Amino acid sequence: MLFFINKLAFSSFRVFFFSLLLVSSFHVFDSVSGTFREASTRQKEPNALLKWKASLDNQSQSSLSSWDGNGHCNWTGIICDKSRRVNQLNLSNFGLKGVGNLSRLTYLDLSSNNLPGYIPFEIGKLRSISELHLERNILTGSIPPSIGNLTDLSFLHLQKNMLNGSIPQQIGMLKSLYKLALSDNNLLNTLSGFIPSSIGNLTNLIELFLHCNKLQGSIPWELGKLLSLDELRLFGNSLSGFIPAEMNNLTSLKAFEVSENFLIGHLPQQKSLKTS
């Protein structure tokens, strides 16, 4: 019975993302067919959301009781833009037990639910999204390389799940990122492998949280290129070798945590760390 529930919840999560991506494909034709197509697309957005709601268990559906009939811009967790297209979806802390095609979606928050399953490759089609919050769920599997397509992303929160595998090099394509949080994925599974050197391309990063995983190897010197970095937390991994001298370039750094690793040698002169 437990397997059936988990399978149902996983199916719901897939239905949700495929529904989002389906609506996005309709938007491609808006400029061709004009106002009629725009109106049609606006209707397909609530239809896709209602289809996803119907795939949830009864308790989860009752949490979304406002999702009924017309007026989807007034539904719980939904924010529309001026043209009444869904712009933001925030369902954090709803206790959903299952859960890209909203083409104008810029904000997606499904944090603090019990979402199982894996992050689908198709998430890379949500190209307008600027904030993605999937933290505090029970997601498994690896981070799909297609995440690199989300070049407008400013906040990526995947911490406190059960993700495994390595961090894809494509993460370095997210040059608009201000915060990257992949920490605490060490419950049943764990993020492992090396810290990708491509993270050094994320020069707008202010916070980088990779702690409490099983990351190995040395701290890449490329992290010294993150001159806007305010917090860097790498503790609780299996990192080894020396802390690169390039870390002294991080003159905005206020928090630098590297304990509970296998680092050797002397700390470089951390002139970058501000003291009160």
Whether pLDDT at 162 is above 50: yes
Q: Which residues have CB under 8 Å from 222's CB, separation 6+?
A: 197, 198, 199, 200, 201, 246
Say which DSSP state 196 is in.
Answer: P
**How far, in Å, are 91, 103, 134, 161, 167 from residue 112 at the CA level?**
9, 24, 8, 10, 22
pLDDT digits (tens, 9 = 90+) for 96-143: 554 444 556 788 888 887 777 888 888 888 888 899 999 998 899 999
pLDDT digits (tens, 9 = 90+) for 9-35: 444 555 455 455 444 433 333 333 444
Is residue 165 within 8 Å of residue 174, measured between CB atoms?
Answer: no
CA dihedral over 56, 62, 65, 69, signed as positive or negative: positive
Residue 94's pLDDT is what? Answer: 61
Q: Label residue 132 exposed, middle or buried (CB < 10 Å: 0-12, 13-18, 19+).
A: buried
Residues in the chain: 276
**Domain architecture of the chain: domains with CATH:** 2-263 (3.80.10.10)
Count Cβ atoms below 10 Å from residue 75 Cβ, excluding itself.
Answer: 21
Whether pLDDT at 159 is above 90: yes
Is residue 256 within 8 Å of residue 232, measured between CB atoms?
Answer: yes
pTM equals 0.73
- CA angle centred on 95, ends 93 and 98, rounded to 5°: 120
Q: Which of 3-7, 17-21, 163-167, 205-209 bottoms out in mean pLDDT, i.e. has the lowest? A: 3-7
Whether pLDDT at 227 is above 70: yes
